[in-house]
């Protein structure tokens, strides 16, 4: 389109200049005919017309060059790459794409790190199981069970004997010692209840056990010399009614009586049944009293 415009403009400009030159020649011819100028003067006028024609051609050429230059400059400006918002938009798109790629890469790295931690945990667990499988298993020797003779009953690590005949408190203690034990030392409600449940009921069934205050009144001690801490006296006992320095357990037909309220004090010379205790080690058996 630019080339067609340039050609048309050039032809139009040349046509105008040609018409002006023809008109000028016609006017000059008319003047020559009217005034009958001399040959020398005519020659001078023809030289001036030639110079005018040359100047006109040069001016037309310059105008044509200027016009072509303007058309080329306009075409160059039109085809020049545009900056501004387009460039900024393209930069922003590239930046967003880079940020998106970076976020995806970070997420992938985090996922891989998590999977690595899980695999390490599984590996450690498998190694631990493998080590446990290969490790020699130490078989701990089991202690043989404590065996009590038929007349003795087991509670925790002690065997107990409940007599069927009566003796006073000192004789009862001597008999228990002859069997490798002593009158029962009762240190807990569980032990007290265990023994009381195995005593027979009767009108006044009484059984010596290993407590006395014969050395110092109201300072009750066990036969091994340790002081009394937890006690299971009946309400109002001990009362030392008639020099009562030894303790015994009562179990009667009255069902409302309870194990933890069954201790009484009495004179040590009274004949009663008794309870022996023998602490047992592994594999030890008791001998049956006679």
CATH topology for 152-279? Mannose-Binding Protein A; Chain A (3.10.100)
Q: Please, what sign has the CA dihedral across residues 104, 105, 108, 109?
A: negative
Q: Quick one: three-class SS letters along 218-240?
A: CCCEECCCCECCCCCECCCCCCC
Computed on alpha carbons and rounded to an integer, the radius of gyration of the chain in Å comes to 68
* pTM of the predicted structure, to 2 decimals: 0.51
Token digits for 233?
């006296």
Which residues contact residue 156 at a Cβ distance below 8 angstroms, ignoring those fewer than 6 apart? 191
CB-neighbour burial class of residue 184 (10 A; exposed 0-12, middle 13-18, buried 19+): buried
pLDDT digits (tens, 9 = 90+) for 186-229: 999 999 999 999 999 999 999 999 999 999 999 999 999 999 99
Provide the residue ranges of all domains of the chain, joining segments of one domain with +: 2-79, 152-279
173 and 167 in contact (C-beta within 8 Å)? no
User: Across the chain, how many H-helices and E-strands are there?
Assistant: 5, 8
- For the chain, 290 residues long, the average pLDDT of each consecutive 10-residue run is 50 59 66 51 52 68 76 67 61 80 81 85 86 68 83 94 97 96 96 96 95 94 96 94 94 93 96 96 50
């Amino acid at each position: 389109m630019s080339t067609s415009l340039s050609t048309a403009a050039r032809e139009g400009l040349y046509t105008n200049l040609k018409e002006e030159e023809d008109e000028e020649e016609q006017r000059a011819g008319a003047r020559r005919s009217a005034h009958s100028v001399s040959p020398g003067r005519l020659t001078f006028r023809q030289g001036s017309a030639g110079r005018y024609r040359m100047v006109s051609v040069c001016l037309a050429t310059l105008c044509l060059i200027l016009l072509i230059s303007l058309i080329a400059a306009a075409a160059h400006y039109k085809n020049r790459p545009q900056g501004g918002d387009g460039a900024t938009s393209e930069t922003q798109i590239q930046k967003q794409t880079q940020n998106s790629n970076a976020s995806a890469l970070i997420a992938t790295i985090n996922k891989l790190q998590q999977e690595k931690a899980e695999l390490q945990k599984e590996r450690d667990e498998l190694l631990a199981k493998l080590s446990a499988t290969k490790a020699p298993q130490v078989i701990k020797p089991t202690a043989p069970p404590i065996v009590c003779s038929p007349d003795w009953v087991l509670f925790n690590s002690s065997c107990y004997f409940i007599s069927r005949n009566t003796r006073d408190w000192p004789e009862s203690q001597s008999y228990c010692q002859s069997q490798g034990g002593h009158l029962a030392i009762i240190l807990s409600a569980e032990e007290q209840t265990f023994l009381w449940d195995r005593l027979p009921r009767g009108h006044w069934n009484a059984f010596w056990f290993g407590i006395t205050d014969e050395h110092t009144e109201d300072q009750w001690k066990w036969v091994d010399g340790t002081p009394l801490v937890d006690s299971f006296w009946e309400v109002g006992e001990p009362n030392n009614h008639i020099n009562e320095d030894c303790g015994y357990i009562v179990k009667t037909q009255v069902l409302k009586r309870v194990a933890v309220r069954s201790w009484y004090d009495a004179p040590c010379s009274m004949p009663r049944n008794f309870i022996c205790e023998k602490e047992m080690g592994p594999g030890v058996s008791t001998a049956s009293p006679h």
